Amino acid sequence: QDEGRITVTPPQSSTDGSPIPVGISVNDELAATTLTASLNGETLAFTANGSLQLDPWQFAPGDMPLEVSALLGELTLATASTSLTVPSLTPVITTEAASEGVIVATVRSQPGTVSALVAIVDGEVLTTSSTGTIEVGLPSAGVVSIEAMATDGVALSSVVLTVDPPPTA
């Protein structure tokens, strides 16, 4: 019965982590209503002009229902739904110096994709963290690898830092 009252343009998914635009239009009869949207049951924020920008980093990858409703006060006048595919994004690890000889690595990932950050120095596991942030004391020389590990133990992405020995006087 709601066909044609709300139109949801199926979004084109992005694989680079940029926001996914969703086109939503309503007919004149619904122009004064409040639009709400939910993805997989989670309420989404709307912009005033009825467009929606989905941040793919906020959702686990996969297909999920996107539902849009037009509300007048508490009354739902119309709903429309479509399926949305959230792309699987490669976790992004960033590092910054915390203090002399210490770096902090942070991972940006989708929910449920990264179970731990692991710091490996010259092939040996130095430290692990399940919080998405890890502090690593650098060796005086050698190779430090920081890996974002999936729940199944597979490295999803890594950053390798080479520490050169201090010059000898």
- At residue 141, does pLDDT exceed 90? no
Segment 103-120 shows an average pLDDT of 94
Do 20 and 56 touch, CB atoms closer than 8 A?
Answer: yes
- At residue 48, does pLDDT exceed 60? no
pTM of the model: 0.78
pLDDT band at 1 (very low <50, low <70, confident <90, very high): very low
pLDDT per residue as tens digits for the range 54-111: 889 999 999 999 998 888 888 888 898 888 888 999 999 999 999 998 999 999 999 9
* Whole-number average pLDDT of the chain: 86
Distance, CA of 8 to CA of 83 (rounded, Å): 10
